[in-house]
Amino acid sequence: MKASSISFSVAVLLALVGMVWGITMAISQDHSTMPAHAHLNLLGWVSLFLFGVFYHLHPTIDGGRTAVIQVAIWIVGTVVLTIGVGLVHSGTPAGDPIAGIGSLIVVAGMVLFGWIVVRRDQNAGVVDRKPMAARAK
Ligand code: HEM
Ligand code: HEM
């Protein structure tokens, strides 16, 4: 499966969970878990969808295993971070280390994404330095 397809479908799933969470907060008038809702939506919907757009725009990267690993790391990190932050804000101190581990996984996912972007730029530089005649072939 392509990284962009995974990104788009999981992003929609996480958005639905985040929105149901938001509606539940609004109905119950208990906004205590708001930071977990916010991060689920921003990491799981917005950021993941943006990764999907990037991969969709770069089909050679989209088809590779590195992109799938990057997206998988991000999804796992988002879920772990959300559970941890949700527990912390519902008064369960055990959520603290879980949130910490989740944040490190998410950072690792972003570092890998940064590496993918830089490598792509370097490869584009190699292509650009080719003479026009060579590029046209
Ligand atoms: C059905 C959809 C949604 C509902 C009912 C909902 C509901 C809520 C509620 C009740 C709060 C707490 C507000 C407060 O206590 O100040 C909140 C906060 C927040 N939500 Fe949502 N939400 C929804 C979708 C989303 C989506 C799609 C995103 C992001 C793309 C999002 C991002 C945020 C953020 C960032 C905050 C924190 C805002 C702040 O710092 O004050 N929400 N939401
Ligand atoms: C390693 C990743 C991240 C960590 C550890 C982190 C941590 C935090 C913390 C500790 C807060 C304060 C929460 C509170 O008031 O109790 C916060 C707030 C916020 N963060 Fe993050 N964050 C991360 C990534 C992101 C990303 C990628 C976005 C946006 C795409 C984001 C958007 C926000 C927003 C909008 C708020 C204010 C709403 C809220 O209080 O939840 N964060 N973040």
Confidence (pLDDT) at 31: 97
Nearest ligand to the C-alpha atom of residue 37: 1
> Closest residue (by CA) to atom 35 of ligand 2?
38
**What pLDDT does residue 132 have?**
52
Cβ of 42 below 6 Å from ligand 1:
yes
Sign of the alpha-carbon torsion through 12, 103, 36, 95: positive
Give the ligand at the shortest distance from the Cα of 35.
2
Does residue 55's CB lie within 6 angstroms of at least one atom of ligand 1?
no
What pLDDT is attached to residue 103? Answer: 98
- Domain boundaries defined on the chain: 3-123
Whether the Cβ atoms of residue 78 and residue 40 lie closer than 8 Å to each other = yes
pLDDT confidence of residue 101: 98
Tens digit of each residue's pLDDT, the chain (137 residues): 999 999 999 999 999 999 999 999 999 999 999 999 999 999 999 999 999 999 999 999 998 999 999 999 999 999 999 999 999 999 999 999 999 999 999 999 999 999 999 998 887 765 545 555 555 54
Amino acid at 57: L
Name, in order, each residue with C-beta under 8 angstroms of 8's C-beta and a sequence gap of 6 or more. Answer: 49, 52
Q: Which atom of ligand 2 is nearest to the CA of 34?
A: 41
d(CA 102, CA 80): 5
| DSSP-derived secondary structure letter, 2 | -
Dist. CA 21 → ligand 1 center (Å):
9
The whole-angstrom separation of Cα 53 and Cα 96 is 32
